[in-house]
């Protein structure tokens, strides 16, 4: 049973005592409150959020005393109604006195409804937050304004000064998001009973942090937390990590709340539902999301959607610093990664790349806060002749304290193999750990913290179409995605499992079409399938790693099957799924492939008809989308790169000869032609600078690459003494 005091006196407010006695008699329901021990449940939120009523309902359900700060603490302390106090002393004094009164109050094991203005006082909030879990009732501003008008409320600080309620609410939000432990996203028009049930659900989740398991073993005893999966790539059994209980689902009235929100707020609310506060607290997550999406993207909308033609829309995923969709994940992932690393060690992330990943990883890690930069670095090895001049300049242009790229005189496979060898050599890893306190790590595309942020932009494109009046929430859309490792496609499927009304995810391949063949036939077969060069190299793929998560998902977590199939792929280069599973796969996804000529022709045709220039990957999706989509709902095409990244092929498509040699000049010339999209300023800057930068090279020699690793550690991290 709860205990509470004000001014060191046991509180004897009459209604409260009656309530306690009443509950004592009726305490037949299981005491769910005991889950929280003697901690308080602190309900926080704007005036009119229903804190008092929800508090009473909760208290009753949990068999705990209810305390209302306004009625049970402030009014007895001041001996007058709160509204009268506000009217007599004014907003500023009111807040001070309210803060002092809260500092004098203590309680345990209660359901406490805070006042709407309590969170504005730092000392008071620090004091009360120590006593319990702060639950933020996040109610839509429109709902609040209507309720307050109905209730004729006259005790809101700021109101007396004539400030519009909308502005008061907007100002307050930052304080609620500073103090909360867990949010209840209230749907529009939700009743207090429904809100109370949601509070119970979020408390339940708070007490039982989300866990992750491997796609190859359902063994719950081996489950791990987000903090663990954010730093490792693969599970020990070779599987990939997935949430043990799937994704949280949002109801339509909750989704609708996100329609008029900017990208970073959508990201914050959605990621919060997928990352437990014990792993990353809400306020920390907010700071990371702001850092990632606040101003690093050239478009304010981060991943804007524009109309292309007919029922086709393009989602532009290339406004990040390195001009491919990988920025959407990699501006956030390094922050999640750095926060989840165990303390006391340095981490060096080793990456082998032949494409867009290198520059996106370098950019993401170079943006870390200083405290993290001192202990987290990236070293990218790329094949000297295996990347385009543009990609080379993008990578070598990013050379800072904790990030660097080294060109190796070998092919991609050699780079990849050498890194694997380093991880597999205990003498080396042991030496680096002992001598420099440094552990090696990878940040590859199977990492959960890379996949998760991508769920957000799929929801964002849908919500943008709602905001633009193209669809109403609940209407279906299809998305079409140029698919390589199946990360982008998988995150769309996860968005669907959160309740977003995506009808079909259409996967688009170039002539390396192993995924399309799998989705259309149920057989994944690497026999006689050489990797062919293409003009859309980011989707040149043989082993599509995230497909494992998809099969786990469609088979409802059949980890035996997943293990069997992917072991067979490793050993026999082949697997097939049953008719029944194939049918289920085809309920969610369809797939098609696009030839090199079709890709070029699509770039030309779209440019001629609309003035819009697509990159080669976007064009692959456009071709396949045209072929497979039936016009009965909007189609969102994932534009995964800016045309400037794959300029030579785009020149070819547009039939322009005499291409300038300098990539910066190529970009400028294409930009002169394009009606849309406009210049990618960051890309141009990188290409300009990259030409001046000296490039660090290294021979095709394992020992030399190890020296590069050691050099980097010595120059970047403090030596442990
Ligand atoms: C990485 C990449 C892709 C492939 O995305 P997956 O998530 O691996 O399927 C497509 N287009 C571009 C431009 C890329 O950089
Ligand atoms: C806080 O409590 C002390 C006694 O413990 C009392 O003297 C003081 O007036 C109280 N302050 C407020 C703001 O209630």
Asked if 633 and 478 count as a contact pair (C-beta separation under 8 A), the reply is yes
User: What separation in Å is there between the alpha carbon of 539 and the centre of ligand 1?
Assistant: 6
Ligand 2 pocket, 104 CB below 6 A?
yes
In this structure, are residues 365 and 349 in contact, taking their beta carbons and an 8 Å threshold? yes
Torsional class of 323: left (φ above 0), alpha (ψ -120 to 50), beta (otherwise): left
Residue among 636, 688, 690 at smallest CA distance from 312: 636
CA–centroid distance, 85 to ligand 2, in Å, is 17
**Closest ligand 1 atom to the C-alpha of 490?**
7
Q: What distance lies between CA 258 and its chain's CA centroid?
A: 15
pLDDT of 715 higher than 70: yes
Using pLDDT thresholds of 50, 70 and 90, give the confidence band for residue 356: confident
Determine the average pLDDT of the residues in 477-495: 97
Query: Relative to the CA of 8, which ligand 2 atom is closest?
Result: 5
Of the listed ligands, the closest to the CA of 320 is 1
What is the number of the ligand 2 atom nearest to the C-alpha of 6? 2
C-alpha distances (whole Å) from 441 to each of 347, 348, 351, 423, 438 are: 7, 6, 9, 8, 10
Q: Name which of 178, 163, 199, 158 is nearest 49 in CA terms.
A: 199
For position 293, what pLDDT does the model report?
97
How far does the centroid of ligand 2 lie from the alpha carbon of residue 7, in Å? 5
CA atoms within 13 A on the CB side of 552: 25
Widest Cα–Cα separation across the chain? 89
Contact 112, 138 (CB under 8 A): no
Comparison of pLDDT for 609 and 690, the residue scoring more:
609
Q: Are 99 and 123 in contact (CB under 8 A)?
A: yes
What pLDDT is recorded for position 694? 62
Determine if residue 271 is left, alpha or beta; phi over 0 gives left, psi from -120 to 50 gives alpha, anything else beta: alpha
CA distance 508 to 617: 9
pLDDT in tens, 179-197: 999 999 999 989 999 999 9
Closest Cα to atom 7 of ligand 2: 7
5 C-beta closer than 6 A to ligand 2 = no
Ligand 2 centre distance from Cα of residue 353 (Å): 64
Instruction: Quote the CA–CA distance of 601 and 614 in Å, as a whole number.
Output: 11
Q: What is the mean pLDDT of residues 422-435?
A: 91
**In this structure, are strands 477-482 and 502-509 parallel, antiparallel, or unpaired?**
parallel
Look at residue 169 in the predicted model and tell me its pLDDT: 95
Q: What is the pLDDT of residue 444?
A: 75
3-state SS, residue 301: coil
Q: How high does pLDDT run on average in the chain? A: 91
pLDDT at 20 over 90: no
Is 714 close to ligand 2, i.e. is its CB under 6 Å away? no
Ligand that comes closest to the CA of residue 515: 1
pLDDT tens digit string along 272-286?
A: 999 999 999 999 999
Q: Which of 359, 485, 639 to mutate to test the pocket of ligand 1 (most atoms within 8 A of CB)?
A: 485
Predicted local confidence at residue 338, as pLDDT: 92
CB distance 674 to 651 below 8 Å: no
Q: What is the pLDDT of residues 430-453, one digit of tens each?
A: 999 998 889 888 877 789 999 999
pLDDT band at 16 (very low <50, low <70, confident <90, very high): very low
- Predicted TM-score (pTM) of this structure: 0.93
Q: Average the pLDDT over 668-692 and give the result.
A: 88
Q: Is 74 in the pocket of ligand 2 (CB under 6 A)?
A: no
Q: Residue 33 has what pLDDT?
A: 47
Q: Is 127 in the pocket of ligand 2 (CB under 6 A)?
A: no
- Which ligand lies nearest the alpha carbon of 96? 2
For residue 482 and ligand 1, the question of a CB distance below 6 A is answered with yes
My answer on whether omega of the bond before 677 falls inside 30° of 0, hence cis, is: yes
Instruction: Give every CB contact of residue 610 below 8 A, 6+ residues apart in sequence.
Output: 308, 309, 675, 676
Question: Half-sphere exposure of 412 toward its Cβ, with a 13 Å CA cutoff?
Answer: 10
Give the helix ranges, DSSP H, for 343-411. Answer: 356-366, 370-373, 389-396
Q: How far is the centre of ligand 2, averaged over its atoms, from the C-alpha of 56 (Å)?
A: 27
Task: Find the ligand nearest to 74 CA.
Answer: 2
Atom of ligand 1 nearest to the CA of 615: 13
| Mean pLDDT calculated for residue range 281-307 | 96
In this structure, are residues 210 and 226 in contact, taking their beta carbons and an 8 Å threshold?
A: yes
Q: Nearest C-alpha to atom 9 of ligand 2 is from which residue?
A: 7
Query: What's the whole-number mean pLDDT along residues 2-27?
Result: 45
Q: How far is the CA of 284 from the centre of ligand 1 (A)?
A: 29
- On whether the CB atoms of residues 114 and 44 are closer than 8 A, the answer is yes
Ligand 2 proximity of 451 Cβ (cutoff 6 Å): no
Which tokens hold the place of 50?
């229903």
Residue 536 beta carbon below 6 angstroms from any ligand 1 atom: no
Look up the CATH superfamily of 3-207. Answer: P-loop containing nucleotide triphosphate hydrolases (3.40.50.300)
For residues 164-191, give the mean pLDDT: 95
Instruction: Indicate whether 721 pLDDT > 50.
Output: no
Ligand 1 binding pocket includes 539 (Cβ within 6 Å): yes
DSSP-derived letter for residue 441 is E
Q: What average pLDDT does the segment 650-655 reach?
A: 97
pLDDT (0 to 100) of residue 557: 96
With contact defined as beta carbons under 8 Å apart, do 557 and 581 qualify? no
460 lines ligand 2 (CB under 6 A): no
Confidence class for position 29, pLDDT limits 50, 70, 90:
very low
Q: Are strands 241-243 and 212-214 parallel, antiparallel or unpaired?
A: antiparallel
Give the start-to-end residue ranges of the domains of the chain. 3-207
Question: How high is the pLDDT of residue 26?
Answer: 31
More confident residue, 691 or 405: 405
The secondary structure of residue 377, as a DSSP letter, is E
> Residue 30's pLDDT is what?
40
Cβ–ligand 1 contact at 326 (below 6 Å): yes
Reported residue count of the chain is: 721
Distance, CA of 575 to CA of 566 (rounded, Å)? 7
- Return the ligand 1 atom nearest residue 356 CA: 15
Indicate which residue's Cα is closest to atom 3 of ligand 2: 7
CB-based burial, 266-294: b 16+ in 10 Å, e otherwise: bbbbbbbbbbbbebbbbeebbbbbebbbe
**Among residues of the chain, what percentage have pLDDT more than 90?**
76
- Strand pairing category for 523-525 and 589-593: unpaired
pLDDT by residue (tens digit) across 80-97? 999 999 999 999 999 999
Mean pLDDT is lowest, of 108-112, 540-544, 622-626, for 540-544
**Which residues 6+ apart lie within 8 Å of 488 measured at CB?**
325, 454, 481, 482, 638, 640
Report whether pLDDT(400) > 90: no
Distance 8 CA to ligand 2 centre (A): 8
Q: Rounded to the nearest 10 degrees, what angle do helices 616-628 and 596-610 cross at?
A: 90
Q: What's 224's DSSP letter?
A: B
pLDDT at 23 (0 to 100): 35
Give the pLDDT of residue 399: 76
Region of residue 286 (left: phi > 0; alpha: psi -120 to 50; beta: else)? alpha
Query: What gap in Å lies between CA 449 and CA 681, rounded to an integer?
Result: 28
CA distance 461 to 328: 13
* Beta strands in 83-221, from DSSP E residues, in sequence order: 105-108, 111-113, 132-138, 182-185, 212-214
pLDDT of residue 353: 86
Question: Residue 40: its pLDDT value, please?
Answer: 96
For a mutational test of ligand 2's pocket, the pick from 76, 95, 100, 104, i.e. the residue with the most ligand atoms closer than 8 A to its C-beta, is 104
Tell how far the Cα of 482 is from the centroid of ligand 1, in angstroms.
7
Verify whether ligand 1 is closer than 6 Å to residue 322 (CB atom): no
For 177, the token pair is 């998001």
**Distance from the alpha carbon of residue 554 to the mean position of ligand 1, in angstroms:** 22
- How much is the pLDDT for 10? 55
- Any ligand 2 atom below 6 A from CB of 8: yes
Ligand 1, atom 1, lies closest to the CA of 538
């Amino acid at each position: 049973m709860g205990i509470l005091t004000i001014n060191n006196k046991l509180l004897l407010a009459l209604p409260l005592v009656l309530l306690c006695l009443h509950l004592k008699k009726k305490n037949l329901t299981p005491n769910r409150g005991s889950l929280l021990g003697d901690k308080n449940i602190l309900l926080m939120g704007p005036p009119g959020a229903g804190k008092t009523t929800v508090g009473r309902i909760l208290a009753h359900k949990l068999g705990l005393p209810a305390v209302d700060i306004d009625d049970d603490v402030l009014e007895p302390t001041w001996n007058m109604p709160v509204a009268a106090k506000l009217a007599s002393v004014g907003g500023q004094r009111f807040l001070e006195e309210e803060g002092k009164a809260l500092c004098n109050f203590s309680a345990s094991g209660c359901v406490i409804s805070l006042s709407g203005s309590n969170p504005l006082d730092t000392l008071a909030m620090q004091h009360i937050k120590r006593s319990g879990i702060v639950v933020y009732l996040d109610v839509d501003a429109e709902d609040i304004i209507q309720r307050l008008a109905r209730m004729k409320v006259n005790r809101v600080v700021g109101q007396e000064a004539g400030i519009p309620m909308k502005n008061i609410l907007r100002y307050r939000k930052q304080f609620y998001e500073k103090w909360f432990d867990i949010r209840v996203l209230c749907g529009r028009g939700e009743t207090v009973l429904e809100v109370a049930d949601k509070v119970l659900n979020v408390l339940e989740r708070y007490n039982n942090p989300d866990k992750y398991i491997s796609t190859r073993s359902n063994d719950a005893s081996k489950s791990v937390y987000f903090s663990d999966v954010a730093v490792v790539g693969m599970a020990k059994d070779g599987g990939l990590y997935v949430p043990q209980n799937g994704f949280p689902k949002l109801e339509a009235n909750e989704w609708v709340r996100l329609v008029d929100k900017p990208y970073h707020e959508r990201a914050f609310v959605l990621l919060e539902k997928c990352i437990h506060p014990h792993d990353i607290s809400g306020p920390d997550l907010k700071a990371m999301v702001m850092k990632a999406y606040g101003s690093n993207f050239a478009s304010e909308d981060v991943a804007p959607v524009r109309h292309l033609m007919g029922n086709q829309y393009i989602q532009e995923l290339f406004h990040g610093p390195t001009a491919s969709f990988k920025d959407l994940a990699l501006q956030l992932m390094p922050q999640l990664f750095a926060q989840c690393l165990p303390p006391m060690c340095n981490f060096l992330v080793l990456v082998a790349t032949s494409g867009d990943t290198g520059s996106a990883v370098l950019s993401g890690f170079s943006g870390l806060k200083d405290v993290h930069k001192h202990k987290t670095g990236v070293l990218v090895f790329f094949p000297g002749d295996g990347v385009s001049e543009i990609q080379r300049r993008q990578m070598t242009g990013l050379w800072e304290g904790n990030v660097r790229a080294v060109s190796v005189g070998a092919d991609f496979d050699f780079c990849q193999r050498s890194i694997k060898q380093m991880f597999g050599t205990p003498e080396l890893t042991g030496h680096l750990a002992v001598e420099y306190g440094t552990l090696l790590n990878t940040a590859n595309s199977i990492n959960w913290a890379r996949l998760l942020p991508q769920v957000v932009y799929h929801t964002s494109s849908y919500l943008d179409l709602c905001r633009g009046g193209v669809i109403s929430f609940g209407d279906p859309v299809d998305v079409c995605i140029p698919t390589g490792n199946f990360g982008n496609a998988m995150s769309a499927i996860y968005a669907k499992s959160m309740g977003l009304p995506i009808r079909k995810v259409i996967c688009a391949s170039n002539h390396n079409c192993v995924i399309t063949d799998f989705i259309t036939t149920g057989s994944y077969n690497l026999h006689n399938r050489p990797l062919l060069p293409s003009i859309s190299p980011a989707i040149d793929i043989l082993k599509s790693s995230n497909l494992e998560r998809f099969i786990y998902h469609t088979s409802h977590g059949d980890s035996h099957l997943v293990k069997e199939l992917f072991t067979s792929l490793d050993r026999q280069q082949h697997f097939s799924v049953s008719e029944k599973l194939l049918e289920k796969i085809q309920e969610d996804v369809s797939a098609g492939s696009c030839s090199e000529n079709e890709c070029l022709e699509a770039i030309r045709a779209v440019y001629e008809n609309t003035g819009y220039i697509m990159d080669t990957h976007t064009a692959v999706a456009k071709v396949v989308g045209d072929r497979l989509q039936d016009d009965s709902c909007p189609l969102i095409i994932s534009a995964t790169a800016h045309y400037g990244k794959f300029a030579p092929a785009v020149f070819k498509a547009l039939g322009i000869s005499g291409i300038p040699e300098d990539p910066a000049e190529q970009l400028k010339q294409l930009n002169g032609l394009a009606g849309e999209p406009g210049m990618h300023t960051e890309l141009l800057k990188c290409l300009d600078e990259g030409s001046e930068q000296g490039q660090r090279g290294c021979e095709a020699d394992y020992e030399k690459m190890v020296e590069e690793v050691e050099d980097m550690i010595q120059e970047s991290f403090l030596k442990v003494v």
